[in-house]
């Protein structure tokens, strides 16, 4: 894997932390402003010869200067040829699937963000795509599913929400090459701070930017980054430009602001999540702690290879005493907020089986934690009293 501390995209050889803290922004000589401007304009003027005054700036459904700082930062972090913002993570994922053709086959994880899994099931039926799900807990099942029939798209999410199984991206990339398939990775939970899927051979990376990239629970947005500017990427670009699945300009502006603290937030959340996982493993009130940073986690060896600098801020606790005990513990939390979503500065706790409903494959004793940036001792004390 490419070392994320290398600086391939920066002629001055600066670290990614430095580049992202500064944002992809060159101070405007007209104002000297250090923070980038917000451009609400929906249309852009042409000169008397009817040429665009600024290339690519014609109409805001295609492109908007306020999107550029976040898109450039993400492309830089992911080592991508280009990145595009979308109105949500779901819209970004849909743009990839809608770039396929009828009859194409998709292999995707059985455990993944449930909203996407549900949409994929419905969309594949109505649009004549074939969907095969692989077992993320069985390292051989991905190869089996890919080799079972010609496959066009391999969709990964790693670590997988909410069991935090880890899928080996480099191995999946070998299988994708062998099958002539595209490899797309939902890297929302890992973030480019910890994992850079393109450097491991993926073709596309997707983020729900609503989560860690923005990190403050106040923007819904998505993003895609591509290894190369090929036909598939062009179809994705066209999909966004025609469908208009773009964020509002204020959201795009907030997103670039949130991204500038990404390294600090993700590292803090990762350190705290590891502390929490270590604290509750072996606690009789918890039957299992699911966190790829623990040596006993089945994905630990792969996580050590592909997650550099931490194992992320997400973990799940399986509560001894079943669903009732899990819900009661969530109900007693005072510092963790009972709310869905993840990747913000505030810690959240969720009973996924309730959120996903009766068809959910998620065990009903499982509580998902999104660890924020609060003092970890407060978070541990809160869970301790909640589990009592």
- The catalytic residue positions are 61, 113, 186, 211
Q: Do residues 307 and 195 touch, judged by C-beta distance below 8 A?
A: yes
Q: Which residues pair with 184 in a beta bridge?
A: 155, 204
- Shortest gap between Cβ of 211 and ligand PLP (angstroms)? 6
Token representation of residue 142? 């991905």
Strands 82-86, 337-338: pairing kind: unpaired
Q: Do residues 207 and 188 touch, judged by C-beta distance below 8 A?
A: yes
- Shortest gap between Cβ of 8 and ligand PLP (angstroms)? 27
Token representation of residue 111? 């455990």
Contact set for ligand PLP, span 177-196 (CB under 6 A): 186, 188-189
Q: How many residues bind ligand PLP (CB under 6 A)?
A: 17
What span, in angstroms and rounded, lies between the C-alpha atoms of 102 and 380? 50
Other CB atoms within 10 Å distance of the CB of residue 238? 14
The residue (of 129 and 223) whose beta carbon lies closer to ligand PLP is 223
For residues 74 to 113, the per-residue mask of contacts with ligand PLP, x marking binding by CB under 6 A and - elsewhere, is --------------xxx----------------------x
- Shortest gap between Cβ of 292 and ligand PLP (angstroms)? 15
Give the CB-nearest residue to ligand PLP: 89
Question: Using alpha carbons only, what angle is made at residue 25 by residues 21 and 31, rounded to the nearest 5 degrees?
Answer: 120
For residues 320 to 359, the per-residue mask of contacts with ligand PLP, x marking binding by CB under 6 A and - elsewhere, is ---------------------xx-----------------
Which of 83, 183, 220, 246 touches ligand PLP (CB under 6 A)?
220
Give φ, ψ of 204 to 5 degrees: -135, 145
Beta strands in 283-335 (DSSP E): 286-290, 314-319
Q: Do residues 361 and 110 touch, judged by C-beta distance below 8 A?
A: yes
- Shortest gap between Cβ of 108 and ligand PLP (angstroms)? 12
Which of 66, 136, 158, 161 touches ligand PLP (CB under 6 A)?
161
Site residues (vs ligand PLP, CB under 6 A): 88-90, 113, 115-116, 157, 161, 186, 188-189, 208, 210, 220, 222, 341-342
């Amino acid at each position: 894997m490419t070392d994320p501390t290398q600086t391939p995209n920066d002629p001055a050889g600066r670290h990614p932390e430095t580049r992202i803290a500064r944002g992809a922004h060159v101070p405007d000589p007209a104002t000297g402003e250090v923070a980038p401007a917000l451009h609400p304009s929906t249309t852009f003027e042409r000169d008397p010869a009817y040429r665009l005054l600024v290339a690519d700036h014609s109409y805001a459904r295609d492109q908007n200067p306020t999107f550029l700082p976040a898109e450039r930062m993400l492309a830089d972090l992911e080592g991508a040829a280009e990145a595009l913002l979308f109105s949500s993570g779901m819209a970004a994922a849909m743009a990839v699937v809608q770039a396929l053709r009828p009859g194409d086959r998709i292999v995707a994880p059985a455990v993944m963000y449930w909203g996407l899994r549900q949409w994929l099931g419905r969309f594949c039926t109505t649009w004549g795509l074939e969907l095969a799900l692989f077992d993320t807990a069985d390292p051989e099942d991905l190869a089996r599913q890919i080799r079972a029939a010609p496959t066009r798209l391999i969709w990964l999410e790693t670590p997988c929400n909410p069991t935090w199984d880890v899928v080996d991206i480099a191995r999946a990339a070998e299988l994708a090459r062998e099958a002539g398939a595209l490899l797309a990775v939902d890297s929302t939970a890992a973030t480019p701070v910890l994992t850079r899927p393109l450097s491991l051979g993926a073709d596309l990376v997707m983020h729900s930017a609503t989560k860690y990239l923005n990190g403050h629970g106040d923007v819904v947005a998505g993003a895609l980054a591509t290894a190369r500017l090929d036909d598939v990427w062009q179809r994705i670009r066209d999909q966004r430009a025609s469908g208009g699945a773009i964020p509002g300009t204020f959201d795009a502006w907030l997103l670039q602001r949130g991204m500038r603290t990404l390294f600090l937030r993700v590292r803090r959340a990762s350190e705290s999540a590891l502390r929490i996982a270590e604290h509750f493993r072996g606690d009789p009130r918890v039957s299992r702690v699911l966190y790829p940073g623990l040596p006993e986690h089945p994905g630990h060896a792969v996580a050590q290879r592909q997650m550099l600098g931490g194992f992320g801020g997400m973990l799940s606790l399986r509560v001894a005493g079943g669903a009732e005990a899990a819900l009661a513990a969530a109900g007693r939390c005072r510092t963790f907020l009972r709310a869905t979503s993840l990747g913000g500065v505030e810690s959240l706790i969720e009973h996924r089986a309730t959120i996903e409903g009766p068809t959910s494959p998620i065990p009903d004793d499982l509580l998902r934690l999104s660890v924020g940036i609060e003092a970890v001792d407060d978070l541990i004390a809160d869970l301790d009293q909640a589990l009592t």
